Structure 1
Amino acid sequence: MIGLVLAAGAGRRLRPYTDTLPKALVPVDGDTTVLDLTLGNFAKVGLTDVAIVVGYRKEAVYARQAELESKYGVKLTLIDNDKAEEWNNAYSLWCARDVLKEGVILANGDTVHPVSVEQTLLAARGNGQQIILALDTVKNLADEEMKVITDGSGAVQKITKLMDPASATGEYIGVTLIEPDAAEALADALRTTFERDPDLYYEDGYQELVNRGVRIDVAPIGDLKWVEIDNHDDLTRGREIACQY
């Protein structure tokens, strides 16, 4: 199993920081970036091979590759997304379809979270699950969050931003464990998703899988501090909590 980071998006709501940097390289604790935190988490759970999907301002990631490899004791493989500024992240994850075959812990490049999330996902393996989503069942939800409804057995029924927050089981935080056996089906669902609409999210690909009868499980992460950094308010929150990890 390897680590996988999606770090191709433009992050326009974080300008001027993202005028020259991808979102994953915006500092959140001194010189420490979201990518630093994620690579540190991966290393702590023994994932020493990491693939990063890059696109917007990818040269900044390439420039730091050797430094990051040395700092965290990992080997990085950079995967170019040629449509990063045109299409949404369903295509971005599909670009990593070959590494999915190795089994991955996928982390969005804009999610500040503690290593306990990766530990929770790894601990949840072993009962035949193919895909396990890290789920926050504590947070009060609003319209922007990627919300999930599960059935009584903990399987995902629906994943979308477009639902009544009161009906949701919790929020998907942008970290997923994907077993090798799920790679082919997920890649096909992602292709169907971005071919239908290139503006769709990879979570819409998860929904496509569910619609096809594939079970996706969740692992509640408990009451912990994390944030998805989309805008300047999120960045302020990220800087408040990043120093605690």
Structure 2
Amino acid sequence: MIGLVLAAGAGRRLRPYTDTLPKALVPVNGDLSVLDLTLKNFSEIGLTEVAVVVGYRKEAVYARKDELEATYGLKLTLIDNDKAEEWNNAYSLWCARDVLKRGVILANGDTVHPVSVEKTLLAARGDDRRIILALDTVKQLADEEMKVITADGQGVRQITKLMDPAGATGEYIGVTLIEPEAAEELADALKATFERDPDLYYEDGYQELVNRGFQIDVAPIGDVSWVEIDNHDDLAKGREIACLY
């Protein structure tokens, strides 16, 4: 199993930081970025290889590749997303379809979170679980969050931002464990998703899988501090949280 980070996004709501950097490289703790913190987590759980999907301002990631490898003791493979500024991240994850065959812990490049999340996912492996989503069942939800409804014994029934927060089981935080056995079916669902609408999220690909009868499971992460960084308010919160980890 290896790490996988989606770091192709432009993060336009974080300008001027993202005028020259992809969102994943915007500093959140001194000189450390979300990408740094995620690689640190991956290293701490014993991973030795990480693939990073790059696109917008990818030259900034290429420029730091050797340094990141040396700092975190990881071998990095950079995967180019040629449509990062045109299409949404269902296509971005599909670009890593060959990597999925090795089994991955996937982390969005804009999620500040503790290593306990990865440890929770690893502890949830087994019993034929092929895809496991890290789920926050504590946070008070609103309209913007990627909300999930689960059913006992059936895993995820619905994953979307477009639902009443009151009916959601929790929020998907942008970290997933994907076993090798799920790679082919996930890649096909992602392809069907972005071919239907290139503006769709990879979570819409997860929904496509569920609609096909594939069981996606969840692992509650407990009461931990984390944030998805979309705008300047999120960035300020991310900087507060990053200092804890």
Which residue of structure 2 lines up, in the alignment, with residue 164 of structure 1? 164
Instruction: Return the offset for 1:154.
Output: 5.7
Which residue of structure 1 lines up, in the alignment, with residue 186 of structure 2? 186
Which residue of structure 1 lines up, in the alignment, with residue 6 of structure 2? 6
Question: Gapped runs of 5+ residues in structure 2?
Answer: none
Which residue of structure 1 lines up, in the alignment, with residue 214 of structure 2? 214
Instruction: Return the offset for 1:157.
Output: 0.1
Q: State how far apart, in whole Å, the 2-side matches of 1:180 and 1:143 are.
A: 33
Which residue of structure 2 lines up, in the alignment, with residue 140 of structure 1? 140
**CA deviation digits over 1:119-152, x for unaligned, max 9?**
0000000111000000000000000000000002
Q: Percent identity at matched positions?
A: 84
**CA deviation digits over 1:132-187, x for unaligned, max 9?**
00000000000000000000226000000000000000000000000000000000
Corresponding letter in the other structure for 1:27 = P
Q: State how far apart, in whole Å, the 2-side matches of 1:102 and 1:78 are.
A: 16
Alignment size in residue pairs: 245
Corresponding letter in the other structure for 1:75 = K
Which residue of structure 1 lines up, in the alignment, with residue 55 of structure 2? 55
Which residue of structure 2 lines up, in the alignment, with residue 100 of structure 1? 100
Q: State how far apart, in whole Å, the 1-side matches of 2:47 and 2:147 are.
A: 28
Q: State how far apart, in whole Å, the 1-side matches of 2:223 and 2:167 are.
A: 20
8 Å CA contact 1:154, 1:218 repeated in 2: no
Q: Equivalent residues in 2 for 1:118-137 (5 A)?
A: 118-137=118-137
Which residue of structure 1 lines up, in the alignment, with residue 17 of structure 2? 17
For the aligned residues, what is the CA RMSD?
Answer: 0.5
Q: State how far apart, in whole Å, the 1-side matches of 2:89 and 2:56 are.
A: 12
**CA deviation digits over 1:84-133, x for unaligned, max 9?**
00000000000000000000000000000000000000000011100000
Which residue of structure 1 lines up, in the alignment, with residue 197 of structure 2? 197
Secondary structure of residue in 1 paired with 2:71: helix
In the superposition, the TM-score normalised over structure 2's length comes to 1.00
Which residue of structure 2 lines up, in the alignment, with residue 243 of structure 1? 243
In the superposition, the TM-score normalised over structure 1's length comes to 1.00
Secondary structure of residue in 1 paired with 2:223: coil
Q: Equivalent residues in 2 for 1:37-56 (5 A)?
A: 37-56=37-56
Larger deviation, residues 111-120 vs 151-160 = 151-160
Secondary structure of residue in 2 paired with 1:132: strand
